[in-house]
């Protein structure tokens, strides 16, 4: 399942082998295996309940696996949890700052929790303020900060002790696009500096900024590769970009046409995914007979979303109803 490794084997920072976690009869994580290299931005995708957060919690030493094994920064997640905790930063899905403390007070507290002290703590606090762009607001209470600032502060807090790995669990939920872009610029910088970034998201925009992405669905890891490789693996000829004078009407019509798996509007273009290249002619014919002949027909590039929908559909078809 994992991607072919380059010739010079990279340093593996996070690895999971057949990792599983059950809660009673429910299998939240089902025999998941992957490796993440140093300095990599590793995206973990999937819908809610797919098992992303459970996997992250196991890797952070917050939850014990019920099967398989995993290691983070060279330490086993089942037996060496305290060693892991000094070497990771964790930014949880739920807000991980104290709203009733100021920016500075939050940084000092989390620094203390990460075992920093004295001059070292002060130096790292200044670094975090600068990295998050919060120098001017360091005395403001967190509850008075806009979401984007809070997110960068939470990241700053998780990085105070310079961990080799950070786990970010849906870090940019509810943040405006500009703040989101700044946040990801920060992540790029980190990765360039050699920090491994493990991030979960369900936003395709964010996934595009990851070096590699893994798709989880119902506890299983369905796909893992670079974005480019995932898109290249998509069957050729199955994506059509159609020009149309009435794109919305065309979309509605195509949704009921046999062989069409997905229709979406990209500007004035109708983006159609069909289950085999032979269907293309049928699509055009259906539009023509419906009085909505396409003004242009071009082979389209699959979006990441197309790729994932197909992967999930294929997996569901294999496992049966």
Partner 1 sequence: MIRRVLAVTVKELLQLRRDWRTALALLGMPVLLLMIYGYALSFDVQDIRLAVVDSSRSAASRQLLQAFLQSGYFVQVGALDDTRPLDALFDSGRAQAALVIPRDFAAALAARRPTGVQFVLDGSDSQTASTILGYARQVVAAAGPSLAGLELEPRVAARPLVWYNPNLESSIFLVPGLLAFILMVSSVIATALAVVREKERGTMESLRATPLLAIELLFGKTLPYLLVATVAAATSLALAWALFDVPVRGEIGWLAAVTVLFLAGGLGWGVFISTLADTQQVAFQLGLLSSMLPTLLLSGFIFPISSMPPALQAISHIVPARYYIATLREIVLKGVGPEVWWNDALALVAYGAVVLLLATARTVRSL
Residues forming the site for partner 1 (CB under 8 A)? 60-62, 82, 85-86, 88, 90-92, 94-101, 105, 108-115, 117, 141, 167
Q: Among 258, 262, 278, 282, which residue's Cα sits nearest to residue 270?
A: 262
| Distance of alpha carbon 94 from alpha carbon 298, whole angstroms | 44
Considering beta carbons, is residue 111 or 294 the nearer one to partner 1?
111
Considering beta carbons, is residue 17 or 115 the nearer one to partner 1?
115
User: Do the Cβ atoms of 156 and 129 come closer than 8 Å?
Assistant: yes
Sheet holding 220-225, edge to edge: 88-91, 165-169, 196-201, 41-45, 212-217, 220-225
Considering beta carbons, is residue 112 or 235 the nearer one to partner 1?
112
**What's the closest the beta carbon of residue 99 comes to partner 1, in angstroms?**
8
Q: How big is the chain, counted in residues?
A: 321
**What's the closest the beta carbon of residue 123 comes to partner 1, in angstroms?**
16
| Distance of alpha carbon 309 from alpha carbon 313, whole angstroms | 6
**What's the closest the beta carbon of residue 53 comes to partner 1, in angstroms?**
10
| Distance of alpha carbon 131 from alpha carbon 159, whole angstroms | 10
Considering beta carbons, is residue 109 or 127 the nearer one to partner 1?
109
Considering beta carbons, is residue 68 or 111 the nearer one to partner 1?
111
Considering beta carbons, is residue 96 or 303 the nearer one to partner 1?
96
**What's the closest the beta carbon of residue 91 comes to partner 1, in angstroms?**
8
CB burial string 203-227: b at 16+ within 10 A, e below: ebebbebbebbbbbbbbbbbbbbeb
Q: Among 4, 21, 44, which residue's Cα sits nearest to residue 166?
A: 44
**What's the closest the beta carbon of residue 136 comes to partner 1, in angstroms?**
21
Pairing of β 296-299 and β 26-37: unpaired
Which residues partner with 220 through β-bridges? 217
Distances (CA, A) of 292 to 106, 137, 262, 283, 319: 59, 56, 18, 11, 38
Considering beta carbons, is residue 52 or 269 the nearer one to partner 1?
52
**What's the closest the beta carbon of residue 302 comes to partner 1, in angstroms?**
37
Q: Is 93 exposed, middle or buried (0-12, 13-18, 19+ CB in 10 A)?
A: middle
| Distance of alpha carbon 166 from alpha carbon 130, whole angstroms | 19
**What's the closest the beta carbon of residue 140 comes to partner 1, in angstroms?**
13
The count of C-alpha atoms lying within 13 angstroms of the C-alpha of 132, restricted to the half-sphere facing its C-beta, is 30
**What's the closest the beta carbon of residue 100 comes to partner 1, in angstroms?**
5
Considering beta carbons, is residue 190 or 253 the nearer one to partner 1?
190
**What's the closest the beta carbon of residue 128 comes to partner 1, in angstroms?**
15
Considering beta carbons, is residue 98 or 127 the nearer one to partner 1?
98
């Amino acid at each position: 399942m994992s991607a072919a490794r380059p010739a010079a084997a990279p340093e593996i920072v996070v690895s999971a082998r057949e990792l599983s976690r059950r809660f009673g009869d429910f299998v939240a994580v089902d025999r998941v295996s992957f490796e993440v290299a140093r300095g990599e931005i590793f995206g973990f995708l999937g819908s809610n309940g797919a098992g992303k957060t459970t996997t992250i919690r196991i890797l952070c030493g917050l939850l014990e696996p019920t099967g398989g094994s995993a290691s983070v920064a060279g330490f086993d997640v089942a037996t060496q949890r305290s060693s892991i905790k000094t070497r990771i930063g964790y930014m949880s899905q739920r807000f991980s700052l104290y709203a009733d403390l100021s920016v500075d007070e939050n940084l000092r507290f989390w620094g203390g929790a990460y075992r920093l002290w004295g001059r070292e703590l002060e130096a790292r606090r200044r670094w975090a303020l600068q990295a998050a762009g919060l120098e001017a607001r360091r005395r403001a209470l967190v509850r008075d900060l806009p979401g984007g600032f809070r997110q960068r502060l939470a990241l700053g807090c998780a990085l105070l002790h310079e961990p080799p790995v950070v786990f970010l669990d849906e870090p940019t939920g509810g943040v405006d696009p500009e703040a989101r872009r700044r946040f990801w610029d920060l992540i790029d910088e980190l990765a360039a500096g050699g920090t491994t970034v493990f991030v979960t998201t369900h936003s395709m925009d964010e996934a595009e900024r990851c070096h590699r992405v893994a798709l989880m669905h119902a506890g299983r890891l369905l796909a893992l590769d670079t974005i480019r490789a995932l898109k290249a693996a998509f069957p050729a000829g199955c994506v059509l970009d159609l020009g149309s004078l009435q794109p919305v009407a065309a979309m509605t019509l195509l949704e009921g046409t046999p062989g069409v798996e997905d229709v979406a509007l990209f500007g004035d273009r109708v983006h159609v995914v069909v289950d085999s290249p032979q269907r293309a002619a049928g699509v055009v014919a259906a539009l023509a007979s419906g009085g909505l002949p396409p003004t242009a027909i071009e082979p389209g590039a699959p979006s990441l979303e197309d790729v994932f929908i197909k992967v999930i559909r294929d997996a569901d078809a294999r496992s049966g109803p």
